[in-house]
Amino acid sequence: MSQSLRLGVAGLGTVGAAVVRMVARQAESLGASTGRTIRVTAISSRDRSRDRGFDMTGITWFDDPVALASSADIDCVVELIGGAEGPARETVEAAITAGHHVVTANKALLARHGAALAKAAEAKGVALAYEASVAGGIPVIKSLREGLAGNRVSRLYGIMNGTCNYILTRMEREGLTFDACLKDAQALGYAEADPTFDVEGFDTAHKLAILTSLAFGVEIDSEAVSVEGISAIQPLDLRMAEELGYRIKLLGVAQVAAGGIEQRVHPTMVPKSSSIAQVMGVTNAVTIDADAVGELTLIGPGAGGEATASAVVADIADIAAGAKRPTFGKPAQTLPSSPRVAMQRHEGGYYIRLTVHDRPGVAAGVATRMAERDISIESILQRRSESAAMTDPHGRSGQPVPLVLITYAATEGTIRAALDAIAADGLLAEAPQLIRIERE
């Protein structure tokens, strides 16, 4: 067997500790498949005294991950600290400068600095591998970069954040509050250190930016993604979705559009009968439309220590076996930028929940503003609150009540213009809720 691959693991949290345990557990099989012994020889974390579930004897400890990354006694740095700046970025940069391969699960870092890091890694002739950065244990990076190399991709979309899907699933199935579900997702190790990244959609945007670069051959740019999270979703929206035959999912979508690649992240109503609607809990799913293969969907665990470690260890095995490919499929210097495609031009169906004053003519007023802009309404649902009904059986109480519309396809620009006009008419008691519908 040729020389062993010495790993330095920076970050020993949910993922890092699972990686060290997995490398030890699978040592024999990894050695047989790659032709090299793979060993963790250095580790770094903040708290040296904490039990990480593995034996640290014989492994060099570094208080400073940058010192670990610069050490001449390792071959590959596994960065599992997290965050786009600070120690994670410094660790990866130091590793590349020192000529070490890098494996990371850090989508925030790649989304912000991926283009520069890829150029630096390619100039140094080292690998920058990141299978675990998107969709946890699903091998979606390898599938896009290698498995679909002979295809032209026209669209990809999916559920890419385990925390959000876990929250939406439990709110819908168990009627739990948003906060209670988020707390459980944190306890299970699914959420980011700052869960705002999950629930406000940024984590999905980072992942979508990575997949877009690979799928469409453009430079990674998370600024080109339109982002909305799930924090404004109310239990009422989940109930309405159920009643109307939909489920709400946080989707990331990238597709070829006039003017570039449309990249968007937002809560989405999907038909209850669709396959994406069946994806529950921490599970992720990514669907790729490509010319040769047609439609391909990858489904699996999107977060958690073991599932994510599985993807990290796959990258380590590739490096041990000598696999070398440009970070984003093509040489980083050659990738063109892709400008942001304005969300206003997006066309599709919309779920609109208005909170209107309960009085005669309100629904007609809303319908008029929609019709003026040629927006066709597929269905309309009005629910009176019990208190409004009791106060005034004639429907003139003026109390806030929900009015839900489902539209046929319209552009976001016209929908927003109609909502502005409805607000200007004084019909709304609260800001409207707007959720895009994807029917296939």
Q: How far apart are CA 184 and CA 165, in angstroms?
A: 13
Q: Is residue 200 part of the contact set for ligand HSE (CB under 6 A)?
A: no
Q: How far apart are CA 282 and CA 308, in angstroms?
A: 12
163 binds, among ligand HSE, ligand NDP, none (CB under 5 to 8 A by kind): ligand HSE
Binding to ligand NDP (CB under 6 A) within 150-209 occurs at: 189-190, 192-193
Binder of ligand NDP out of 5, 7, 9, 15 (CB under 6 A): 15
- The answer to whether residues 284 and 300 touch, using CB atoms and an 8 Å cutoff, is yes
Q: How far apart are CA 54 and CA 21, in angstroms?
A: 6
State which residue, 202 or 350, has the beta carbon closest to ligand HSE: 202
- The answer to whether residues 308 and 132 touch, using CB atoms and an 8 Å cutoff, is yes
Catalytic residues: 207
The set of residues, in sequence order, having a beta carbon less than 8 Å from that of 72 and lying 6+ positions away, is 98
Q: Which stretch binds ligand HSE (CB under 6 A): 55-63, 188-196, 330-338, 350-358?
A: 188-196
Residue 365 three-state SS: helix
Residue 406 three-state SS: strand
Q: Which stretch binds ligand NDP (CB under 6 A): 12-20, 323-331, 347-355, 385-393?
A: 12-20
Residues in the interface with ligand NDP (CB under 6 A) total: 27
Query: What tokens were used for 16?
Result: 């890092």
Question: For ligand HSE, what does the binding mask look like between residues 292 and 331, x meaning CB under 6 A?
Answer: ----------xx----------------------------
- The answer to whether residues 11 and 82 touch, using CB atoms and an 8 Å cutoff, is yes
289 binds, among ligand NDP, ligand HSE, none (CB under 5 to 8 A by kind): none
How many C-beta atoms lie closer than 10 Å to residue 413's C-beta?
15
- The answer to whether residues 132 and 9 touch, using CB atoms and an 8 Å cutoff, is no
Q: Is residue 229 part of the contact set for ligand NDP (CB under 6 A)?
A: no
**CA 124 to chain centroid:** 30
Q: Is residue 79 part of the contact set for ligand HSE (CB under 6 A)?
A: no
Reference 339, options 247, 263, 405, 234; nearest CA is 263
State which residue, 96 or 303, has the beta carbon closest to ligand NDP: 303
Reference 102, options 37, 210, 8, 206; nearest CA is 8
Question: For ligand NDP, what does the binding mask look like between residues 379 and 408, x meaning CB under 6 A?
Answer: ------------------------------
Q: Is residue 161 part of the contact set for ligand HSE (CB under 6 A)?
A: yes
Q: Is residue 281 part of the contact set for ligand NDP (CB under 6 A)?
A: no
Which residues sit at the interface with ligand NDP, rule CB under 6 A?
A: 10-16, 44-47, 65, 80-82, 87, 105-106, 132, 136, 189-190, 192-193, 303-304, 308
Which residues sit at the interface with ligand HSE, rule CB under 6 A?
A: 136, 161-163, 190-192, 198, 203, 302-303
